[in-house]
């Protein structure tokens, strides 16, 4: 049995005050929710406020990104050990917005992944095709490349610590969710890649989340798919009511 994960990615939203207000409203709505891991990824400046607000709850806090180096002359960057010290337990790596706007490649994703694991963070590694790649019938090819270049060099034990998030770029922030069947197909493909590279056992226990316009009204259909182990939620995670409705699918 794979334990479900519902993770919220706030992107560049919420000040510290807004973060505190979110948790005040959110905590009572999920205080009885023990059926899944709950993760919130605020912007860096609100991590401390989120960690403080989530104390004594089962909600864990994640970074949205982190550098591959531990320390050094990298203006503007935050290292994985810094995220740990701030109270994070996981970190999103290779989100499509990082790849698109900040030039992140699979090689960078791979370095960040290793740095996260070395620091003791649980990486949430994002993969996914854009509209033109899907239209051209290249989805599996692209996913395979992102898998091979991003995470295939991990050891088995390290692979068992990561969460993979399948986020088709055409579904992010567009209101166009992949159907549960489309998502499940790609999840099954990722699992076959993991079985080939690692072991069938590791592939069977890998947790693969879906992301892209997940909302309270489509989460149940997605979670009904055997292949889908959870969700990475953007827009709908900003509101305590809608995010709690997703958590309590």
Catalytic, out of 104, 167, 187, 227: 167
Dist CA 110 CA 93 (whole Å): 9
Dist CA 41 CA 222 (whole Å): 21
Q: Is 94 in the site for ligand PGA (CB under 6 A)?
A: no
Which residues on neighbouring strands pair with residue 207, listed in sequence order? Answer: 163
DSSP code for 201 = H
Residue 122 is inside which H or E element, if any? strand 122-127
Q: Could you give the 3-state DSSP secondary structure of residue 172?
A: coil
∠ Cα 248 43 131 (to 5°): 75
95 is catalytic: yes
Q: Which is nearer to ligand PGA, 49 or 216 (CB)?
A: 216
Q: Is 51 in the site for ligand PGA (CB under 6 A)?
A: no
Q: Is 242 in the site for ligand PGA (CB under 6 A)?
A: no
Catalytic, out of 95, 104, 133, 227: 95
Q: Is 146 in the site for ligand PGA (CB under 6 A)?
A: no
Q: Which is nearer to ligand PGA, 173 or 200 (CB)?
A: 173
167 is catalytic: yes
| CA nearest neighbour of 31 among 61, 59, 8 | 59
CA 201 to chain CA centroid, Å, is 22
Q: Is 128 in the site for ligand PGA (CB under 6 A)?
A: no
**Considering only residues 174-233, where is the footprint of ligand PGA by CB under 6 A?**
211-214, 232-233
Q: Is 8 in the site for ligand PGA (CB under 6 A)?
A: no
The answer to whether the beta carbons of residues 99 and 89 sit under 8 Å apart is no
Quote the least distance from Cβ 212 to ligand PGA, whole Å.
5
Query: Which residue number is nearest to ligand PGA in terms of Cβ?
Result: 234
The catalytic residues are 95, 167
What is the contact surface with ligand PGA in residues (CB under 6 A)?
9, 167, 172-173, 211-214, 232-236
């Amino acid at each position: 049995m794979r334990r479900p994960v519902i993770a919220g990615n706030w992107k560049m939203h919420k000040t510290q005050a807004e973060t505190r207000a979110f948790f005040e409203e959110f905590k009572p709505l999920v205080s009885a929710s023990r059926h899944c891991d709950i993760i919130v990824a605020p912007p860096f400046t609100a991590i401390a406020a989120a960690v403080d607000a989530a104390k004594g709850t089962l909600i864990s806090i994640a970074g949205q990104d982190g550098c591959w180096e531990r320390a050094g002359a990298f203006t503007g960057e935050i290292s994985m050990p810094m995220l740990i010290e701030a109270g994070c337990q996981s970190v999103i790596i290779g989100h499509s917005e990082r790849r698109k706007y900040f030039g992140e490649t699979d090689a960078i994703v791979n370095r960040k992944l290793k740095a996260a694991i070395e620091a003791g963070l649980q990486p949430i590694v994002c993969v996914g095709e854009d509209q033109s790649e899907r239209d051209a019938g290249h989805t599996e090819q692209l996913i395979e490349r992102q898998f091979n270049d991003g995470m295939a060099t991990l050891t088995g034990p390290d692979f068992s610590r990561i969460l993979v998030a399948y986020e088709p770029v055409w579904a992010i922030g567009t209101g166009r969710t992949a159907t549960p069947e489309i998502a499940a197909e790609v999840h099954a493909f990722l699992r076959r890649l993991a079985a080939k590279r690692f072991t069938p056992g590791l592939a069977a226990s890998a947790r693969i989340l879906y992301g892209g316009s997940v909302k309270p009204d489509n989460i149940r259909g997605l979670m009904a798919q055997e292949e889908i182990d959870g969700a990475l939620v953007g827009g709908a995670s900003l509101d305590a009511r809608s995010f709690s409705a997703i958590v309590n699918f």
